[in-house]
Chains A and B, each alone.
Chain A
């Protein structure tokens, strides 16, 4: 049996992308961006505060960092909880030591589970993003739109209520989206999302409800990706972030503002043997004068002003 003739139809084989979400654009062809104060490089550090349910459904797929053994997987459940109990406080101390601005992306269910943690974060005054309901509530192709709309609304209501912040940024659990996710986010007052990893700078994304900004937040540079997925050492984590910084810092000097976006997990870098590597990275970055440490909302605003 040969393949169906339809396999040789290429309905989108023409200029630009094969979808309408965003326009085709090469980074080098865009207008250079100048960050406030003439700094070449914006630094965005996001701390992901996550909850991985012990009774993980894993449908239609398990979250990165989720349960892996037969029920009850106490091993992974408690390792992730370590981040919310212990690791986060080490991370905060390190960030404050180097005076680095930070944002928090929070699974909304944590507002009910750990009000102390939410209060602690809110009191700092840092920007808070919604990270969906929990790590086992993915947004995915084939999901019922009404069901997804309920999850988006519930997650945002809970977090806005608990934090008193407008919450205009979003990171989906596992960065997974359905075809409707961006539209639902716009309908619920979200101004930027951080799931698409196809760029080093922000860009505008279309939805039937209006535009939303895609903010780049590298997965390749996540602590989880380098250390847990790739099984690289803690030293390698630091090397890779520093090499990335050096490359972007140089490029920013030549081509206009660039953004180093680091997504970190208290359950990973908050371990005693890893925290020193985060400090090493922050020491290297903050020793450069041309770094603008900012929240994602500030970075988005500065980027939009430069368009």
Chain B
């Protein structure tokens, strides 16, 4: 085991080369609905239990199933209303289980990126060949069912190995959502030397972390989203930043949580100079315009 993942170099927030998003925008804003599927009785991974209760864990499984049956449409309607195209963090088996949801996202030109096969199949314990095959399965499934070449990756249930980023980049991916170290995109160091970028996907603004881990009140979540945006928007005037809201329809899609989220979305998208975009578009724009300058600046600061 390593003391540090070695995926990025220390790079202070102050004094970086300036980023300007398209049309002079200061904040690249993206929303990442996690469209997930959990198995009632998954194969057992020796490193992590899928459910706290014996099968069937009615409450655990039902909580997640609610997102696909009920919550998804509520969230999709709100995103439609404010002109936001979702960047879907997809349990790719949804393509087989619930193709109706995939079709609705395709109609809206949403992006699909891989979040593994099921959110009950963890990467822990996989050797490199197994993880490679699992990653490629996800990419192929997305291509087959959506016609999109998968650009991004969020490891299933945030379970990784030391080579997760290497394997995803070697399979053709260009960005990861698994690193929470920055408010701007940053280059990721890989064994292949490929251009690969971390796009900020805020764990702090993630509704599951907010509601399940931190047990925060719905209206307070709305206030947190606005405060997060306000400060990033102010700082973005000097150097462009990224704001992401990662969502789960089984959390924010509940009737008692929808309004506070909608109000925050209305607030954020009501500002000028906000680039309402997707994970792929941020990664591509950054790689095209700022990646090389960032690598040079990181090298220069690292040598000082």
Q: How far is the CA of A174 from the CA of B65 in the complex (A)?
A: 18
Contact in complex: A198, B97 (CB < 8 Å) = no
Residues in A whose Cβ lies below 8 Å from that of B46: 3
Instruction: Kindly identify which residue among B37, B45, B73 contacts A28, using a CB–CB cutoff of 8 Å.
Output: B73
Q: What are 15 A-B contacts with C-beta separation under 8 Å? A: A1-B125, A2-B129, A3-B45, A3-B46, A6-B43, A13-B97, A24-B98, A26-B73, A27-B69, A175-B59, A195-B59, A197-B63, A199-B69, A243-B219, A244-B254
Residues in A whose Cβ lies below 8 Å from that of B57: 141
Q: How far is the CA of A218 from the CA of B59 in the complex (A)?
A: 10
Minimum C-beta distance from A28 to chain B (A): 5
Contact in complex: A197, B59 (CB < 8 Å) = yes
6 closest pairs, A vs B, by CB? A141-B54, A2-B127, A244-B256, A247-B255, A198-B65, A198-B62
Residues 5-48 of A, flagged 1 when their CB comes within 8 A of B and 0 if not, give 01111101111111100001111110000000000000000000
Minimum C-beta distance from B211 to chain A (A): 8
- Look across to chain B and name the residue whose beta carbon is closest to the beta carbon of A28: B73
Residues 214-255 of A, flagged 1 when their CB comes within 8 A of B and 0 if not, give 000011110000000111100010011101111110010000
Q: How far is the CA of A3 from the CA of B161 in the complex (A)?
A: 13
Residues in B whose Cβ lies below 8 Å from that of A141: 53-57
Residues in B whose Cβ lies below 8 Å from that of A211: none
Contact in complex: B62, A197 (CB < 8 Å) = yes
Contact in complex: B256, A243 (CB < 8 Å) = yes
Contact in complex: B69, A2 (CB < 8 Å) = no
Residue A177 CB within 8 A of the other chain = yes
Q: How far is the CA of A6 from the CA of B43 in the complex (A)?
A: 8
Instruction: Kindly identify which residue among B39, B62, B73 contacts A27, using a CB–CB cutoff of 8 Å.
Output: B73
Contact in complex: A177, B96 (CB < 8 Å) = no
Instruction: Kindly identify which residue among A2, A60, A199 contacts B54, using a CB–CB cutoff of 8 Å.
Output: A60
Contact in complex: B97, A15 (CB < 8 Å) = yes
Contact in complex: A177, B58 (CB < 8 Å) = yes
Residues in A whose Cβ lies below 8 Å from that of B259: 243, 246-247
Within 8 A of A (CB), among B10-57: 37, 39-41, 43, 45-46, 52-57
Instruction: Kindly identify which residue among A15, A179, A219 contacts B56, using a CB–CB cutoff of 8 Å.
Output: A179
Residue A77 CB within 8 A of the other chain = no
Residues 77-99 of B, flagged 1 when their CB comes within 8 A of A and 0 if not, give 00000000000000001001111
Contact in complex: B58, A195 (CB < 8 Å) = yes
Instruction: Kindly identify which residue among A14, A236, A243, A247 contacts B96, using a CB–CB cutoff of 8 Å.
Output: A14
Residue B70 CB within 8 A of the other chain = yes
- Look across to chain A and name the residue whose beta carbon is closest to the beta carbon of B258: A247
Contact in complex: A140, B53 (CB < 8 Å) = yes
- Number of B positions contacting A (CB below 8 A): 55
Residue B248 CB within 8 A of the other chain = no
Minimum C-beta distance from B257 to chain A (A): 8
Contact in complex: A241, B256 (CB < 8 Å) = yes
Minimum C-beta distance from A246 to chain B (A): 7
Residue B158 CB within 8 A of the other chain = no
Residue B280 CB within 8 A of the other chain = no
Known: A3-B130, A60-B54, A231-B215. A248 touches B255 (CB 8 A): yes
Contact in complex: B69, A7 (CB < 8 Å) = no
Contact in complex: A18, B97 (CB < 8 Å) = yes
Known: A14-B96, A26-B100, A142-B54. A244 touches B255 (CB 8 A): yes
Q: How far is the CA of A220 from the CA of B46 in the complex (A)?
A: 31
Additional pairs, 9, CB under 8 Å, beyond known A7-B121, A196-B58: A2-B130, A8-B133, A18-B41, A19-B41, A26-B101, A178-B56, A198-B63, A244-B256, A251-B74
Minimum C-beta distance from A173 to chain B (A): 12
Instruction: Kindly identify which residue among B40, B118, B126, B218 contacts A19, using a CB–CB cutoff of 8 Å.
Output: B40
Known: A2-B130, A27-B73, A199-B70. A240 touches B53 (CB 8 A): no
Name, among A175, A179, A220, the residue most crowded by chain B CB atoms within 10 Å (CB to CB): A220
Residue B115 CB within 8 A of the other chain = no
Within 8 A of A (CB), among B205-263: 215, 217-219, 254-260
Known: A15-B96, A15-B99, A140-B53. A220 touches B256 (CB 8 A): yes
Minimum C-beta distance from B159 to chain A (A): 12
Instruction: Kindly identify which residue among A10, A16, A176 contacts B53, using a CB–CB cutoff of 8 Å.
Output: A176
Residues in A whose Cβ lies below 8 Å from that of B117: 10, 13
Residues in A whose Cβ lies below 8 Å from that of B66: 197-199
Q: How far is the CA of A173 from the CA of B36 in the complex (A)?
A: 28
Residue A61 CB within 8 A of the other chain = yes
Residue B134 CB within 8 A of the other chain = yes
Residues 122-147 of B, flagged 1 when their CB comes within 8 A of A and 0 if not, give 00011101100110000000000000
Known: A26-B73, A230-B215. A14 touches B256 (CB 8 A): no
Residue A200 CB within 8 A of the other chain = yes
Minimum C-beta distance from B43 to chain A (A): 5
Known: A241-B256, A247-B258. A13 touches B43 (CB 8 A): no
Q: How far is the CA of A34 from the CA of B277 in the complex (A)?
A: 40
Name, among B41, B98, B256, the residue most crowded by chain A CB atoms within 10 Å (CB to CB): B256
Name, among A7, A8, A174, A232, the residue most crowded by chain B CB atoms within 10 Å (CB to CB): A7
Q: How far is the CA of A196 from the CA of B57 in the complex (A)?
A: 10
- Look across to chain A and name the residue whose beta carbon is closest to the beta carbon of B95: A13
Contact in complex: B217, A18 (CB < 8 Å) = no
Name, among A16, A18, A231, the residue most crowded by chain B CB atoms within 10 Å (CB to CB): A18
Contact in complex: B217, A232 (CB < 8 Å) = yes
